[in-house]
Homo-oligomer: A and B are copies of this chain.
Amino acid sequence: MTVQRKTSEEGQGDLPWQWQETKWRAIVNKVRAGRSLRPKTWKNGAQVCVALSFDSDHETGTLRDGEDSPGKLSQGQYGSRVGVPRIRRLLDRYDIRASFFVPAVVAKLYPEEQRALVAEGHEVGIHGWIHERNSILPPAAERDLQMRSADVLAQVTGKRPVGIRTPSWDFSQHTLAISREMGLLYDSSLMADDEPYEIVEDGKPTGMVELPVEWIKDDAVYFNMNRFSGLRPHTPPSAVLEIFTAEFEGALAEKGLFLLTMHPHIIGHRSRIQLLESLIRHMRAVPGVWFATHAEVAQYCRDNG
């Protein structure tokens, strides 16, 4: 589509296949994976590290689009009313601490939910203001929203967040600079590796830790439904369990990191929380697995990577 538009500008010399080498090199080098931060062994000699995360979008996916449909909003409320409690009970049952990335608007709508999570040892991290899309925001607005989001989480939970997952993993040209200005320990939105790495900006190491994500390890990819597009939950839970398990087994074989992104309003449903429990049982049965929050993993990697 972009290409279609660009061909009409033909002759201006600025179509991608006409770009000078300096141009495409600059684009590629803007934000880049640097040295691996995978430690020799994980904490207490663990063989594999498991970092579970839940993006508590709740109603903000709908609000962000400027929509007010009671039906769509009720799907979001499900995340808080049903999803988070089920997830908390499950994590408690298997003695696991996880990370919840929470938009500021969600923290204001459900402050008790965030406080309870922190009280139980879970991490609450930055996930934007109202699940805005960074790459279409004015840069000043992105900076303002990201900083205010951290303030809201600190006020609500009493703990200042040390990491960010950009909403929709939509990492803009400015996100890294903002996160560095805020002194964040880690980002978790990029995909250049399975293992933690140091982010490099314009060729210079930043000291910031990336805990990489991937669509493969995301519940929404398989279960999302959009009435007016072609998105459908075509993949049955058993197939998703197959994929997640294979990713974990690969991490185990390489003594690496298995990082999984989920959403309370998606994974929280009865037919899906079962798959998460099956996966957790499978992983719990492995000797030497370290379940940790993203903040713990990032800190450990920065110290030992």
Residues of A within 8 A of B (CB): 1-4, 6-7, 10, 15-17, 19, 21, 24-25, 27-28, 30-33, 59, 63-71, 73-75, 77-78, 81-82, 105, 108-109, 129-130, 132-133, 135-138, 141, 145, 168-173, 175-176, 189-194, 212, 214-216, 221-222, 224-225, 227, 229-240, 242-243, 246-247, 249-251, 254, 269-271, 273-274
Contacts and interface: CB of A to CB of B under 8 A. Distances in A.
B3 A65 contact: yes
A70 B216 contact: no
A68 B30 contact: yes
A16 B194 contact: no
Given A75-B191, A82-B194, A70 B171 contact: yes
28 contacts: A3-B66, A3-B133, A10-B138, A17-B130, A17-B137, A24-B105, A24-B130, A31-B73, A32-B74, A33-B77, A33-B81, A71-B169, A71-B171, A71-B190, A82-B194, A214-B269, A215-B225, A221-B233, A224-B232, A232-B234, A232-B235, A236-B242, A237-B242, A239-B239, A246-B271, A247-B270, A249-B270, A250-B270
B216 A68 contact: no
A81 B243 CA distance: 22
A153 to B, nearest CB: 16
Contact of A246 (B27, B66, B108, B270): B270
Given A17-B145, A233-B215, A236-B243, A194 B270 contact: yes
Nearest to A27: B68
